[in-house]
Structure 1
């Protein structure tokens, strides 16, 4: 079964929009786990417009499943935050300052030396490393020589093209996953996966360890309730 990690950034966005502590991010994380989520994901950014650095510290104290911190490792503050809190997994994303959301994977060829150096820092601290990549075989193959444990396939392209033709939309991800398997890499995926396209993705991408889902899941929870929504996503992952 592919594991479900719930990204709670949007809960923090809602909290921050009015100040105070409503909704309570820590309680939501606890509830996500209680409702069956197998991990909690956060993606802190320098402007702290959603997840704050203090949230990471507080979440580390209470998360009992798998804690995954995503972010731009080109920011020293991010590196320091991860090393101080030692999550189960760190996911390295090539964001730029002010970026609204992640929109591309690493060029693992051009950035090979940098990624080797940075990944080694986290692995020396006992933290599993995943790096964000596009479904391009050459980029997956080059990821394997960086020292990373896993890749996270950036799935916006799949989600965008899914309504136009699911077979064509999934094809590059299947190929990328096969390359990852050849090199012994674990496979995660995330970005714009939802209740419409998730099951087909899980059914067809070989060796898929984990999906990280936030925006769509939290949006669905407005209609279906958080507990029910998490169960719906878990069923889509249970292939």
Structure 2
């Protein structure tokens, strides 16, 4: 059985990877970083990921970074969990589409909106327009209950958590399709376990920083 090491900081993008590991029932160990203390910018972690970002994983010595790559790798690594349509499955293409759409369209559109950047000419923008991104996602979620219909996949772990965070910060509208979908994902036991664990980790880090101060 492979052993996964996840470089994790509580209440960050790596929390989604931790949820995915729980959903997969995968064996893993955590290397916890305090990003508020800048541990992700220290040489020890920059040797793992020069970008200073989480998540990153080591899988039997193989390093994988970039959130979507980590999700695709892990879901394929543990096929018995059934969270990734395999090659040849009619849902494989749509599954990869929505993984790529998240990284290539949704996140850039949300960051641009949150930063107050003016809209680019759609011909120059990698995602077209913010409104088009939101409507494309909304329409995909209408049939429900999951992103690909009746089948729950790793893509739902990714998207459910992302929508919860972005709606909370007001950079994504609280459309009925978004709120209902996110609620279904975040109600899952794996999400609740990770939220409780992250709260404990964050509290311990706050205490440690206070003691040093």
Question: How does the TM-score come out when normalised to structure 2?
Answer: 0.33
Question: How does the TM-score come out when normalised to structure 1?
Answer: 0.31
Structure number with the higher strand fraction is 1
